[in-house]
Protein backbone atom coordinates (compact mmCIF):
# COMPACT_ATOMS: atom_id res chain seq x y z
CA UNK A 1 0.00 0.00 0.00
CA UNK A 2 1.38 3.40 -0.99
CA UNK A 3 1.98 5.79 1.88
CA UNK A 4 1.24 9.49 1.80
CA UNK A 5 4.97 10.23 1.87
CA UNK A 6 5.66 7.97 -1.09
CA UNK A 7 2.87 9.53 -3.11
CA UNK A 8 4.06 13.05 -2.33
CA UNK A 9 7.64 12.05 -3.18
CA UNK A 10 6.65 10.89 -6.65
CA UNK A 11 4.50 13.97 -7.20
CA UNK A 12 7.41 16.22 -6.21
CA UNK A 13 9.74 14.35 -8.58
CA UNK A 14 7.23 14.73 -11.43
CA UNK A 15 6.84 18.45 -10.73
CA UNK A 16 10.61 18.96 -10.62
CA UNK A 17 10.97 17.08 -13.90
CA UNK A 18 8.21 19.04 -15.59
CA UNK A 19 9.59 22.38 -14.44
CA UNK A 20 13.16 21.68 -15.56
CA UNK A 21 16.38 22.33 -13.63
CA UNK A 22 16.37 26.13 -13.57
CA UNK A 23 12.79 27.04 -12.75
CA UNK A 24 12.08 29.27 -9.74
CA UNK A 25 10.70 27.91 -6.47
CA UNK A 26 9.30 29.50 -3.33
CA UNK A 27 12.40 28.45 -1.35
CA UNK A 28 14.33 31.72 -1.05
CA UNK A 29 16.65 31.92 -4.02
CA UNK A 30 16.58 28.22 -4.90
CA UNK A 31 15.96 26.99 -8.41
CA UNK A 32 14.43 23.55 -8.91
CA UNK A 33 17.86 21.89 -9.10
CA UNK A 34 18.71 23.38 -5.67
CA UNK A 35 15.47 22.08 -4.20
CA UNK A 36 16.12 18.62 -5.65
CA UNK A 37 19.64 18.70 -4.20
CA UNK A 38 18.23 19.65 -0.80
CA UNK A 39 15.89 16.65 -0.82
CA UNK A 40 18.68 14.25 -1.79
CA UNK A 41 21.24 15.59 0.70
CA UNK A 42 18.71 15.56 3.54
CA UNK A 43 18.11 11.83 3.02
CA UNK A 44 21.51 10.60 1.86
CA UNK A 45 24.16 12.72 3.58
CA UNK A 46 23.58 12.68 7.32
CA UNK A 47 27.08 14.12 7.77
CA UNK A 48 25.91 17.31 6.09
CA UNK A 49 22.16 17.33 6.74
CA UNK A 50 22.80 18.20 10.38
CA UNK A 51 23.33 21.72 9.11
CA UNK A 52 19.57 22.03 8.77
CA UNK A 53 19.33 22.33 12.55
CA UNK A 54 22.91 22.96 13.77
CA UNK A 55 24.44 26.28 12.73
CA UNK A 56 28.08 25.09 13.02
CA UNK A 57 27.32 22.54 10.27
CA UNK A 58 25.48 24.97 7.99
CA UNK A 59 28.57 25.74 5.92
CA UNK A 60 29.22 22.08 5.23
CA UNK A 61 25.58 21.58 4.28
CA UNK A 62 25.75 24.43 1.78
CA UNK A 63 28.95 23.04 0.19
CA UNK A 64 27.58 19.52 -0.13
CA UNK A 65 24.26 20.78 -1.46
CA UNK A 66 26.05 22.85 -4.12
CA UNK A 67 28.00 19.75 -5.15
CA UNK A 68 24.78 17.79 -5.60
CA UNK A 69 23.08 20.66 -7.41
CA UNK A 70 25.91 20.56 -9.96
CA UNK A 71 25.14 16.93 -10.83
CA UNK A 72 23.16 16.09 -13.98
CA UNK A 73 19.51 16.95 -13.30
CA UNK A 74 18.31 13.53 -14.44
CA UNK A 75 20.54 11.92 -11.81
CA UNK A 76 19.13 14.17 -9.09
CA UNK A 77 15.57 13.31 -10.09
CA UNK A 78 16.38 9.60 -10.01
CA UNK A 79 17.70 9.97 -6.47
CA UNK A 80 14.61 11.91 -5.39
CA UNK A 81 12.33 9.22 -6.84
CA UNK A 82 14.18 6.20 -5.50
CA UNK A 83 14.53 7.71 -2.05
CA UNK A 84 17.12 7.04 0.62
CA UNK A 85 19.49 4.05 0.72
CA UNK A 86 18.61 1.09 2.90
CA UNK A 87 20.89 2.15 5.75
CA UNK A 88 19.19 5.53 6.11
CA UNK A 89 16.58 6.01 8.87
CA UNK A 90 14.37 7.52 6.17
CA UNK A 91 14.22 4.09 4.52
CA UNK A 92 11.97 2.93 7.36
CA UNK A 93 8.33 3.30 6.34
CA UNK A 94 7.31 4.82 9.68
CA UNK A 95 10.13 7.38 9.62
CA UNK A 96 9.49 8.21 5.98
CA UNK A 97 5.81 8.82 6.67
CA UNK A 98 6.47 10.91 9.78
CA UNK A 99 9.32 13.00 8.38
CA UNK A 100 8.49 13.35 4.71
CA UNK A 101 4.74 13.66 4.25
CA UNK A 102 4.69 17.36 5.15
CA UNK A 103 8.17 17.98 3.74
CA UNK A 104 7.26 16.75 0.28
CA UNK A 105 3.81 18.35 0.28
CA UNK A 106 5.25 21.77 1.06
CA UNK A 107 8.07 21.43 -1.46
CA UNK A 108 5.66 20.26 -4.17
CA UNK A 109 3.73 23.46 -3.62
CA UNK A 110 7.02 25.39 -3.66
CA UNK A 111 7.41 24.24 -7.25
CA UNK A 112 3.75 24.54 -8.29
CA UNK A 113 3.06 27.97 -6.81
CA UNK A 114 6.22 29.60 -8.12
CA UNK A 115 4.51 29.56 -11.53
CA UNK A 116 2.06 32.23 -12.62
CA UNK A 117 -0.68 29.77 -13.62
CA UNK A 118 -0.98 27.79 -10.38
CA UNK A 119 -4.27 26.91 -8.73
CA UNK A 120 -4.91 25.42 -5.28
CA UNK A 121 -4.58 21.66 -5.26
CA UNK A 122 -7.68 19.69 -4.32
CA UNK A 123 -6.81 17.23 -1.57
CA UNK A 124 -8.83 14.20 -0.59
CA UNK A 125 -10.39 14.36 2.91
CA UNK A 126 -8.15 11.63 4.33
CA UNK A 127 -4.97 13.42 3.30
CA UNK A 128 -6.35 16.74 4.52
CA UNK A 129 -6.94 15.18 7.93
CA UNK A 130 -3.39 13.80 7.94
CA UNK A 131 -1.99 17.26 7.22
CA UNK A 132 -4.21 18.77 9.92
CA UNK A 133 -3.00 16.23 12.45
CA UNK A 134 0.61 17.12 11.66
CA UNK A 135 -0.17 20.83 11.78
CA UNK A 136 -1.78 20.51 15.22
CA UNK A 137 1.44 18.97 16.54
CA UNK A 138 3.73 21.50 14.83
CA UNK A 139 1.68 24.68 15.17
CA UNK A 140 3.48 26.14 18.21
CA UNK A 141 6.89 25.46 16.67
CA UNK A 142 5.96 26.95 13.31
CA UNK A 143 4.34 30.01 14.85
CA UNK A 144 6.89 30.72 17.57
CA UNK A 145 8.24 33.84 15.86
CA UNK A 146 4.84 35.41 15.16
CA UNK A 147 4.64 38.98 16.49
CA UNK A 148 0.89 38.57 17.08
CA UNK A 149 -1.41 35.90 18.45
CA UNK A 150 -2.10 33.38 15.70
CA UNK A 151 -4.97 30.90 15.49
CA UNK A 152 -5.29 28.48 12.57
CA UNK A 153 -8.89 27.55 11.81
CA UNK A 154 -10.43 24.96 9.51
CA UNK A 155 -13.74 25.79 7.78
CA UNK A 156 -15.45 23.28 10.09
CA UNK A 157 -14.38 25.30 13.13
CA UNK A 158 -11.52 23.16 14.44
CA UNK A 159 -8.61 25.30 15.54
CA UNK A 160 -4.93 25.11 16.45
CA UNK A 161 -3.11 27.84 18.34
CA UNK A 162 0.16 28.68 16.63
CA UNK A 163 1.10 31.56 18.91
CA UNK A 164 -0.42 32.93 22.10
CA UNK A 165 -0.60 36.69 22.40
CA UNK A 166 -2.59 39.77 21.56
CA UNK A 167 -3.88 41.08 19.28
CA UNK A 168 -5.08 37.80 17.77
CA UNK A 169 -5.28 37.01 14.07
CA UNK A 170 -7.40 34.05 12.98
CA UNK A 171 -6.33 32.38 9.75
CA UNK A 172 -9.05 30.28 8.10
CA UNK A 173 -8.47 27.77 5.33
CA UNK A 174 -8.22 24.12 4.40
CA UNK A 175 -5.49 22.15 6.21
CA UNK A 176 -3.04 22.19 3.30
CA UNK A 177 -3.40 25.95 2.94
CA UNK A 178 -2.99 26.52 6.67
CA UNK A 179 0.11 24.35 6.62
CA UNK A 180 1.62 26.45 3.84
CA UNK A 181 0.77 29.63 5.75
CA UNK A 182 2.43 28.31 8.90
CA UNK A 183 5.50 27.28 6.92
CA UNK A 184 6.03 30.89 5.85
CA UNK A 185 4.29 30.75 2.47
CA UNK A 186 1.66 33.29 3.53
CA UNK A 187 1.70 35.10 0.18
CA UNK A 188 0.48 32.05 -1.73
CA UNK A 189 -1.69 30.32 0.90
CA UNK A 190 -5.41 30.37 0.03
CA UNK A 191 -6.59 31.65 3.41
CA UNK A 192 -8.73 34.37 4.97
CA UNK A 193 -7.37 36.45 7.84
CA UNK A 194 -9.53 38.05 10.50
CA UNK A 195 -8.27 40.58 13.02
CA UNK A 196 -6.99 44.09 13.50
CA UNK A 197 -5.66 45.52 10.23
CA UNK A 198 -2.16 46.14 11.55
CA UNK A 199 -2.05 42.72 13.22
CA UNK A 200 -3.10 41.04 9.97
CA UNK A 201 -0.32 42.85 8.13
CA UNK A 202 2.20 41.65 10.73
CA UNK A 203 0.94 38.07 10.44
CA UNK A 204 1.35 38.16 6.68
CA UNK A 205 4.92 39.42 7.00
CA UNK A 206 5.97 37.22 9.93
CA UNK A 207 8.90 34.83 9.57
CA UNK A 208 6.93 31.68 10.24
CA UNK A 209 8.13 28.12 9.83
CA UNK A 210 11.07 26.04 10.98
| Per-residue pLDDT reduced to its tens digit, 104-145 | 999 999 999 999 889 888 999 999 999 999 999 999 999 999
Quote the percentage of the chain above a pLDDT of 70.
91
Domain ranges of the chain: 4-112, 125-205
Q: With a threshold of 0.85, does the pTM exceed it?
A: yes
**How far is it, in rounded angstroms, from Cα 191 to Cα 85?**
38
Average pLDDT, the chain: 90
Exposed, middle or buried: residue 204 (CB in 10 Å: 0-12, 13-18, 19+)? Answer: middle
pLDDT value for 1 = 47
Task: Report whether pLDDT(54) > 90.
Answer: no
Mean pLDDT, range 44-61, rounded to an integer: 59
How far apart CA 136 and CA 35 sit, in angstroms, is 26
The CA distance from 161 to 60, in Å, is: 35
Q: What is the pLDDT of residue 28?
A: 80
According to CATH, the topology of domain 125-205 is Nonspecific Lipid-transfer Protein; Chain A (3.30.1050)
Q: Which of 108, 124, 97 is nearest to 2 (CA)?
A: 97
pLDDT tens digit sequence for 184-196: 999 999 999 999 9
Amino acid sequence: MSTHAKRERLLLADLLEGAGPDAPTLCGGWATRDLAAHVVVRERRADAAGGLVLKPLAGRLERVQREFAAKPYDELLRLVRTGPPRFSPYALKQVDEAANTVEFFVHSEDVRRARADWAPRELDPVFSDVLWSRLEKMARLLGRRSPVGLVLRRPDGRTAVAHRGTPVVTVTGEPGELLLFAFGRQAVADTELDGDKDAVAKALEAKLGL
